[in-house]
Amino acid sequence: MPETKKFSTKSEKGLEKPEASKKEKLTRILQGLRNIGDMMGSAVISTDGLLIASDLSESVDEDTVAAMSAAMQGAAETAVSELKQGELRQIIIEAEKAKIITISSGEKAILVILARPEIKLGLALLELGKASGKISDILGG
């Protein structure tokens, strides 16, 4: 039977590397979304409208993004439920200067992105789906 290698979390100097916090892991995921192109920023918020992690520019009020996104998500979920159309997958808002996309990330979190109007929606939704799954795993479903 072949011998399996064991990997250590020790750095070159023999010191243990501290494991990244949940917020650091979430921030790395959000920063990775920049690779989609035409992204202006992203955030993970609670369904209550509180900011969990963000990668938004300083010109954007994080608390407003969190509160408005949670309100939109809640209203859309209610509409979909009342109309008996299954579960809400995502919300896509097309405005003159941006697209805003929200997608559920588990039961208690929402991934929100702000993007330029010309973003390639298919690629963005594919990557957002992957990121949403990772976020859900980190936050425990």
Closest CA to 42 of 139, 128, 119: 128
Flag whether 77 is in a domain: yes
> Domain with 131 in it: what CATH number?
3.30.450.30
Whether the predicted model's global pTM rises above the 0.95 cut: no
Flag whether 79 is in a domain: yes
The tally of CA atoms less than 13 A away on the side-chain side of residue 58 is 0
Q: Which domain holds residue 129?
A: 22-139
> Tens digits of per-residue pLDDT, 109-139?
999 999 999 999 999 999 999 999 999 999 9
- Between 18 and 9, where is the model more confident? 18
Structure confidence at residue 15 (pLDDT) = 58
